[in-house]
Each structure stands twice: as structure tokens, then as C-alpha cells.
């Protein structure tokens, strides 16, 4: 089995500046930690997605990840960007374009005011992204999905992907929630646009790290019904979706029962999606590999110019 993890984060407060890291997130998750949490597969690559450094560190984050890419099998970078800043946005995108592993950008919208994604300034920035052949990772909360459908209509050439299925309310394993009619309606509206894709990622984090396959499968079904299997990508959302209550038998479990790192969570999410896809008769290789490479254009010659160094670590490990 080959896997392209389309949603991998890393961070290191000794290298870059972040304002949101606290509790179990306030640890280094970088090269050593990635190597210790490899998937049990024959071939593995990943797309790094910006981890909300401060805006002044967006370029520094790209440089840092590029320095690790060859050893970690990172095939592409989704860089941080603010798309509503006019000429400053254009200048930033031009600088990003000098880094060959950059395949897309993410302006994290989930905490921004409603309506920003359809403002004239943001739409102009989104058109600049599309003009460069890049993708746009959409990180929003479920209530913001109507704005994303409108953005897709305003910039139909923009290849966008919903991170974490648009963050629906999923409940927990003990108190599951069914997909809401509003969320289903809204992802169907987004999916009407042929350049819109959806990541099967992030649901464990939305469940607070307490989840079951039975709880989350209805959301996978709804995404498949809306987007079709050919527009679904798998992502681990590591390490965000690997934080929650300590796993049974964890010798390092906090004595106070607080959330901690779950060392088997990434593999468990992969196994859950594979088992769901196989049970439904879906094309597993498409979801785990081919769709992601097509969406992020990882076989584009511009990106392949960095192919030799980025295959180093996993190539030696798996012979890929």
C-alpha cells in the first residue's frame, strides 16, 4: 500500500514563532517525531500544511520544511498566506514562488469574520493563487461553508480542498452526533464546483481524540456522496489529531488524566479510512495516493525538480 498523507503538520518553537501552542501541543513535533510515527505501509510521502506560525515566519516555515523534506519524504508544501492584503499578498506569493516545493497556500479562515472569504480583496488574492496553478486549502468551521461555496463560484478556476470535511460537529464515541442536514447541504453546495475536493482528515480532533469508526463513518459516507471518490484525499492531520486521552497501557499517561499524545492515532485513522473504503468498494489507492498527487500536481515538472532530495528518507526505508 502507498500513502500520500495530504495533511501533515510540524512545529518547533526553537525555530519559529507560534502563538497558539499550549498544553499537549506545546512540544516539538518535527523530524524525529515524524520518523517515530511512520505508517505501516510500503511507501509513504506527505504534503506539509502550514502550522499557523506568526505571519512574519511564513517564509521561514517554508525554508525550514524544505531543509527537512528530503529526509522525511515531504513531496509538497502548502504555505501560509493572507489573501486579502492586496499588493502585499502578491509580493508574498511571488516570494513563495521561488521555493519549488510550494504547491499551494492556506489562509486559515476558521477564526476570521464571516464574509471575509467572499470579500473583493480576498477574491482578488484567490485569483492570484489560481493564476499560479496553486491550490487553496480551506480551513473553516461548518457555519462558514456557504461562504466557501460562494468563493468557488467567484473563482471557478481555483483548485480548493476542504480540510477536515469542513469541521462538522461529530460528538464523541460515547455521545456521537449524526451528520447535520445543514452540513450535508453545505458540503453538497461546495462539491457542485468541479475544482473543489475534500480531505478525509481531522475528524479525530473534532471528536477530542475520543472517537470510533462507527461514529465517523457516516461523515465519510456523506463526503463520498457529495464529492465522489475521485475528489477525496486522505490526511492524518498529524499531530493535531493525535492528541487526546491517553491510550490504554500508555506508561507515560499524565497522572491527572489530561490530554496527551496518542502514538497509535495516526495509524488508527488510516486503518479506519481503508476499512471503510474497502467495505464500500471504493478505490483505496485513489483516496490514499492518486487523488492527492493529482490535486497538488506533484507530478508537475516544476515540482519534480525537487524529487531526488525529497525521496531520500522514505526511499531508503521502503525502496520507493
Mean pLDDT of 112-135: 98
Strands 159-162 and 135-138: parallel
Residue 33 has pLDDT above 80, yes or no: yes
Name the band, by pLDDT with cuts 50, 70 and 90, for residue 284: very high
What does the pLDDT look like over 46-74, one tens digit per residue? 999 999 999 999 999 999 999 999 999 99
Q: Is the peptide bond before 239 cis (omega within 30 degrees of 0)?
A: yes
77 Cβ neighbours under 8 A, 6+ residues apart: 47, 48, 50, 62, 65, 66, 69, 99, 101, 102, 103
The string of pLDDT tens digits covering residues 78-116 is: 999 999 999 999 999 999 999 999 999 999 999 999 999
The pLDDT value recorded for residue 309 is 36
| pLDDT for the residue 302 | 53
- Residue 23, classified by CB atoms within 10 Å of its CB into exposed (0-12), middle (13-18) or buried (19+), is exposed
User: Quick one: which of 237, 230, 247, 224 has its CA closest to 285?
Assistant: 230
- Please tell me the predicted confidence (pLDDT) of residue 267: 98
Buried b (16+ CB within 10 A) or exposed e, 187-206: bebbbebebbbbbbbbbbbb
Residue (of 229, 267, 238, 263) closest to 248 by Cα position: 263
**What is the structure's pLDDT at 10?**
98
Decide if pLDDT at 319 tops 60: no
d(CA 267, CA 41): 10
Residue 277: pLDDT above 70?
yes
Overall average pLDDT of the 238-252 stretch: 95
- Whether the per-residue pLDDT at 142 is higher than 60: the answer is yes
pLDDT of residue 307: 38
* The pLDDT of residue 303: 44
> Which residues 6+ apart lie within 8 Å of 251 measured at CB?
none
CA distance 1 to 51: 28
Query: Comparing 81 with 320, which gets the higher pLDDT?
Result: 81
Residue 177, CB-side half-sphere exposure with 13 Å CA sphere: 13
Q: Which residues contact 8 (CB under 8 A, 6 or more apart)?
A: 34, 46, 47, 48, 49, 74, 235, 236, 238
- 77 neighbors 89 (Cβ within 8 angstroms): no
DSSP string, 158-187: -EEEEGGGG----B-SSSB-PPPHHHHHHH
Which is more confident, 211 or 315? 211
Pick from 316, 310, 288: nearest CA to 1: 288
- Spatial separation of the C-alpha atoms in residues 49 and 80, rounded to whole Å: 8
DSSP 37-56: T--SSSEEEEEEE---B-GG
pLDDT at 231: 98
Domains and CATH numbers, the chain: 85-306 (3.20.20.140)
pTM of the predicted model, to two decimals? 0.93
- From the list 179, 240, 227, the residue with the least C-alpha distance to 199 is 227
Task: Report, as an integer, the average pLDDT of 270-298.
Answer: 98
pLDDT tier for residue 301 given thresholds of 50, 70 and 90: low
Q: What is the pLDDT of residue 300?
A: 78
Is the pLDDT confidence value at 251 over 50? yes
* Mean pLDDT lowest among 64-68, 130-134, 141-145, 314-318: 314-318
Amino acid at each position: 500500500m502507498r500513502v500520500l498523507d495530504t495533511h501533515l503538520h510540524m512545529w518547533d518553537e526553537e525555530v519559529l514563532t507560534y502563538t497558539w501552542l499550549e498544553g499537549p501541543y506545546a512540544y516539538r513535533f518535527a523530524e524525529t517525531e515524524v520518523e517515530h510515527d511512520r505508517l505501516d505501509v510500503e511507501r509513504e510521502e506527505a504534503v506539509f500544511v502550514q502550522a499557523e506560525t506568526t505571519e512574519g515566519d511564513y517564509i521561514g516555515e517554508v525554508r525550514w520544511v524544505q531543509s527537512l523534506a528530503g529526509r522525511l519524504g515531504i513531496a509538497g508544501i502548502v504555505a501560509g498566506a493572507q489573501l486579502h492584503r492586496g499588493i502585499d499578498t502578491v509580493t508574498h506569493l511571488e516570494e513563495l514562488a521561488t521555493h519549488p516545493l510550494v504547491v499551494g497556500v492556506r489562509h486559515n479562515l476558521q477564526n476570521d469574520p464571516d464574509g471575509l472569504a467572499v470579500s473583493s480583496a480576498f477574491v482578488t488574492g484567490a485569483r492570484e493563487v489560481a493564476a499560479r496553478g496553486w491550490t487553496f486549502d480551506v480551513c473553516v468551521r461548518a457555519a462558514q461553508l456557504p461562504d466557501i461555496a460562494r468563493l468557488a463560484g467567484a473563482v471557478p478556476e481555483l483548485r480548493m480542498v476542504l480540510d477536515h470535511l469542513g469541521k462538522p460537529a461529530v460528538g464523541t464515541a460515547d455521545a456521537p452526533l449524526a451528520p447535520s442536514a445543514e452540513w450535508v447541504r453545505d458540503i453538497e453546495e461546495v462539491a457542485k464546483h468541479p475544482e473543489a475536493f475534500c480531505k478525509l482528515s481531522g475528524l479525530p480532533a473534532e471528536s477530542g481524540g475520543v472517537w470510533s469508526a462507527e461514529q465517523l463513518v457516516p461523515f465519510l459516507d456523506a463526503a463520498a456522496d457529495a464529492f465522489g471518490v475521485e475528489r477525496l484525499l486522505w490526511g492524518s492531520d498529524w499531530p493535531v489529531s493525535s492528541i487526546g486521552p491517553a491510550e490504554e497501557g500508555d506508561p507515560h499517561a499524565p497522572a491527572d488524566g489530561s490530554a496527551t499524545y496518542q502514538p497509535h492515532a495516526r495509524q488508527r485513522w488510516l486503518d479506519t479510512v481503508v476499512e471503510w473504503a474497502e467495505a464500500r468498494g471504493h478505490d483505496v489507492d485513489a483516496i490514499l495516493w492518486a487523488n492527492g498527487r493529482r490535486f497538488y500536481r506533484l507530478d508537475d515538472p516544476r515540482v519534480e525538480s525537487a524529487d531526488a532530495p525529497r525521496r531520500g528518507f522514505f526511499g531508503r526505508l521502503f525502496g520507493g
